[in-house]
């Protein structure tokens, strides 16, 4: 069995007076892509934000590579964990280049960036190179999403948390994104990815966890869920054919 990199046990999260997570148990194996699925409002984004320390767990245990996960976001980032939020988190007034440079924590200037890794990212996301000196705010929605993911990948990360990268993208852009994430998957980077597009999830995921009402209600092999229409209907209210 593959060793786990990230584990959540009995995690509860309150946001103000709202009790959002109700005892989340989640295991993310090393070197695999784990899909976090569920209907809107199930608690998926809250789970990612709780892992990153943006919202504080009110109860439960979070561990990373066998040790307790720090509570503060900067300390979590220092462990090699990067987060791509649903709103992308790019700085619209800065150029694409400067967005990438800011994300490269070990580089004080452009010359100190890993040029080999940049070339790899340009191959994955050609628009990043094409619009290198353009303001990020001028990019299309799909190009902004590509930039957001490229920023998270500009340096090697031990864990990537990605929230709905395919949301609102045209089908052709979704296919480009799937191809890029397959390249990332081949590097054995551990990924926890929230996605509503089941066809995209099934193309990328090794493991899956399905959330409902602030809990994980199903966890297992992604292929098992893909091959079992009854499981899809039970936990997601859909079938692969309806969402291909």
pLDDT grade for 109, boundaries at 50, 70 and 90: confident
> Is the pLDDT assigned to residue 188 strictly greater than 70?
yes
Q: What gap in Å lies between CA 133 and CA 146, rounded to an integer?
A: 16
Q: Which tokens in the block code for residue 15? A: 């946001």
Give how far the C-alpha of residue 181 lies from the chain's centroid of Cα atoms, to the nearest Å: 10
Q: Are 90 and 148 in contact (CB under 8 A)?
A: yes
Average pLDDT for 169-182: 85
Average pLDDT for 93-111: 89
Q: What is the value of pTM for the model shown?
A: 0.90
Three-state SS for 177? helix
Per-residue pLDDT, 58: 96
Is 9 part of a structural domain of the chain? no
Q: Give the single-character DSSP code of 70.
A: P
Nearest to 71 by CA among 13, 18, 10, 21: 13
Please give the sequence-ordered ranges of beta strands (E in DSSP) within 30-116, or none if there are none: 33-38, 57-64, 67-68, 81-84
Is 224 part of a structural domain of the chain? yes
Q: How many domains does the chain have?
A: 1
Q: What gap in Å lies between CA 241 and CA 87, rounded to an integer?
A: 29
Is 76 part of a structural domain of the chain? yes
Q: What gap in Å lies between CA 145 and CA 131, rounded to an integer?
A: 14
Q: What gap in Å lies between CA 191 and CA 30, rounded to an integer?
A: 9
pLDDT in tens, 57-96: 999 999 999 999 999 999 999 999 999 998 777 899 999 9
H helix intervals, 52-170:
73-78, 96-103, 115-124, 126-130, 141-153
Is 22 part of a structural domain of the chain? no
Give the residue with greater pLDDT, 166 vs 34. 34
> Is the pLDDT assigned to residue 151 strictly greater than 60?
yes
pLDDT in tens, 23-33: 999 999 999 99
> Is the pLDDT assigned to residue 240 strictly greater than 90?
no
Is 238 part of a structural domain of the chain? yes
Per-residue pLDDT, 244: 40
> Is the pLDDT assigned to residue 208 strictly greater than 50?
yes
Per-residue pLDDT, 1: 61
Considering the chain, what is the average pLDDT of its residues?
A: 91
Is 13 part of a structural domain of the chain? no
pLDDT grade for 134, boundaries at 50, 70 and 90: very high
Nearest to 195 by CA among 237, 154, 165: 165
Q: Are 166 and 243 in contact (CB under 8 A)?
A: no
pLDDT grade for 110, boundaries at 50, 70 and 90: confident
Three-state SS for 52? coil
* CATH number, position 153: 3.40.50.300
Average pLDDT for 42-57: 96
Three-state SS for 176? helix
Highest mean pLDDT among 36-50, 79-93, 177-191: 36-50
Per-residue pLDDT, 167: 82
> Is the pLDDT assigned to residue 190 strictly greater than 70?
yes
Domain that holds residue 205: 32-51+70-243
Per-residue pLDDT, 80: 92
Give the residue with greater pLDDT, 45 vs 187. 45
Q: What gap in Å lies between CA 230 and CA 207, rounded to an integer?
A: 18
């Amino acid at each position: 069995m593959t060793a786990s990199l990230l584990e959540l046990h009995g995690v509860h999260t309150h946001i103000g007076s709202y009790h959002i997570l109700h005892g989340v148990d989640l295991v993310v194996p090393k070197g695999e892509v784990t899909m976090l699925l569920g209907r809107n409002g199930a608690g998926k984004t809250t789970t990612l934000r709780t892992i990153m320390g943006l919202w504080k767990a009110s109860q439960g245990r979070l561990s990373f590579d066998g040790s307790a996960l720090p509570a503060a976001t900067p300390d979590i980032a220092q462990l090699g964990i990067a987060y791509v939020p649903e709103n992308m988190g790019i700085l619209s007034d800065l150029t694409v280049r400067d967005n990438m440079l800011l994300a490269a924590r070990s580089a004080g200037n452009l010359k100190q960036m890993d040029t080999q890794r940049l070339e790899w990212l340009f191959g994955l996301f050609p628009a990043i190179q094409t619009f290198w000196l353009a303001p990020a705010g001028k990019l299309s929605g799909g190009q902004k999403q590509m930039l957001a993911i490229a920023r998270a990948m500009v340096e090697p990360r031990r864990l990537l948390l990605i929230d709905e990268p395919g949301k609102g993208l045209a089908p052709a852009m979704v296919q480009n994104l799937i191809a890029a994430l397959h390249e990332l998957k081949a590097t054995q980077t551990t990924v926890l990815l929230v996605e509503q597009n089941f066809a995209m999830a099934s193309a990328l995921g090794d493991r899956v966890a399905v959330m409902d009402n602030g809990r994980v209600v199903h966890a297992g092999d992604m292929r098992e869920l893909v091959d079992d229409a009854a499981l899809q209907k039970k936990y997601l209210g859909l079938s692969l054919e309806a969402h291909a």
